[in-house]
């Protein structure tokens, strides 16, 4: 008998943001597959085998999960946040499409999670209250000129923007360029938010403007949200401000 694969999102960090169905899947798994620091977030229990892998081997990890399910295992593949957002779900389907034909019969399910973008937006108020887009700033899987084009077009379209993977040690200059493009295309006084490690003990939120933003305000645990010309900041005494983008667009 074959087993199953559930591709599960663990949310942005805190236990309260893991869905009950993700918890149920983790409790039913014989095998848990994922990037080391995500698997480490899963509570230990006997009878489950953990398969920890390094970053950037998503396809291999997906193939392991699918072939274990063929052998009768009940496999949970974990991602942080939501598994469909720049994470393991697409990698599993890439492996499935190009793998052995019999994999297509497997019972495969994606269980959604709270993605970092929504967790960060909720901390601030409602910066994504009007139309927005989400962009992965990593150029591992796409050329940098495509990223630049999308930034300019998103700015022209008037979208608020949420950026994943804004900055790595390997390519700090990319994010600096992105900030320059945004400052010119969106406007220097538009709010930008750096939300670091949302819903963990290391959480830190910085609200500033594109003119004042510096590339070193972001690292790989930061979600960056850029508002629009309509985004508002409600200052409060002795409490952090609320940031929101009104529902209605006034041209
Ligand atoms: N599948 C994940 C995203 C994976 S890409 C999700 O849906 O959230 C990894 C990027 O997500 C990081 O570089 C960072 O930009 C963002 N991220 C993940 N967890 C975060 C958190 N707790 N706080 C802020 N950003 C986070």
Average pLDDT, the chain: 95
For residue range 177-235, what is the model confidence (pLDDT) as tens digits? Answer: 999 999 999 999 999 999 999 999 999 999 999 999 999 999 999 999 999 999 999 99
- Closest ligand 1 atom, CA of 197? 23
Q: Is the CA virtual torsion 238, 244, 248, 249 positive or negative?
A: positive
Q: What is the pLDDT of residue 43?
A: 82
Q: Average pLDDT of 151-159? A: 98
166 C-alpha to center of ligand 1: Å? 10
Q: What is the pLDDT of residue 71?
A: 97
For residue range 11-22, what is the model confidence (pLDDT) as tens digits? Answer: 999 999 999 999
Query: Which residues are CB-neighbours of 208 under 8 A, at least 6 positions away?
Result: 191, 192, 193, 194, 217
Q: Average pLDDT of 47-57? A: 88
**Confidence check: pLDDT of 67 > 90:** yes
164 C-alpha to center of ligand 1: Å? 6
Pocket test of ligand 1: the residue of 82, 111, 135, 164 to mutate, having most ligand atoms within 8 Å of its CB, is 164
Calculate ∠ Cα 54-175-214, nearest 5°. 120
Q: What is the pLDDT of residue 168?
A: 73
Provide the whole-model pTM. 0.96
Label residue 56 by pLDDT band (50, 70, 90).
confident
Binding-site residues, ligand 1, Cβ < 6 A: 12-13, 79-82, 85-87, 115-116, 120, 164-166, 195, 197-200, 220-223
Pocket test of ligand 1: the residue of 13, 37, 195, 221 to mutate, having most ligand atoms within 8 Å of its CB, is 221
158 C-alpha to center of ligand 1: Å? 24
101 C-alpha to center of ligand 1: Å? 33
Label residue 171 by pLDDT band (50, 70, 90).
confident
For residue range 92-137, what is the model confidence (pLDDT) as tens digits? Answer: 999 999 999 999 999 999 999 999 999 999 999 999 999 999 999 9
- Closest ligand 1 atom, CA of 195? 24
47 C-alpha to center of ligand 1: Å? 30
137 C-alpha to center of ligand 1: Å? 12
């Amino acid at each position: 008998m074959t087993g199953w694969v559930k591709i599960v999102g663990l949310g942005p960090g805190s236990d309260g943001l893991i869905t009950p169905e993700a918890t149920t899947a983790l409790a039913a798994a014989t095998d848990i597959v994922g990037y080391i620091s995500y698997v480490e977030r899963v509570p230990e229990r006997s009878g489950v085998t953990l398969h920890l892998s390094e970053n950037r081997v998503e396809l291999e990890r997906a193939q392991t999960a699918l072939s274990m399910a063929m052998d009768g295992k009940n496999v949970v593949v974990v991602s942080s946040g939501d598994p469909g957002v720049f994470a393991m779900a697409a990698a599993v389907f890439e492996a499935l499409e190009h793998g052995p034909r019999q994999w297509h019969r497997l019972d495969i399910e994606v269980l959604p999670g709270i993605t970092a973008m929504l967790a960060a937006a909720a901390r601030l108020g409602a910066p994504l209250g009007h139309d927005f887009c989400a962009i992965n700033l990593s150029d591992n899987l796409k050329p940098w000129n495509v990223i630049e084009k999308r930034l300019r077009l998103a700015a022209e379209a008037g979208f608020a923007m949420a950026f994943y993977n804004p900055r790595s040690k390997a390519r700090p200059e990319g994010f600096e360029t992105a900030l320059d493009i945004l400052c010119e295309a969106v406007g220097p006084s538009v709010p930008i938010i750096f939300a670091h490690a949302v819903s963990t003990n290391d959480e830190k939120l910085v609200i500033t403007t594109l003119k004042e933003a510096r590339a070193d305000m972001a690292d790989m645990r930061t979600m960056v949200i850029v508002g629009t010309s309509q985004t508002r900041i409600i200052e409060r005494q002795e409490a952090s401000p609320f940031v929101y983008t009104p529902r209605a667009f006034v041209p």
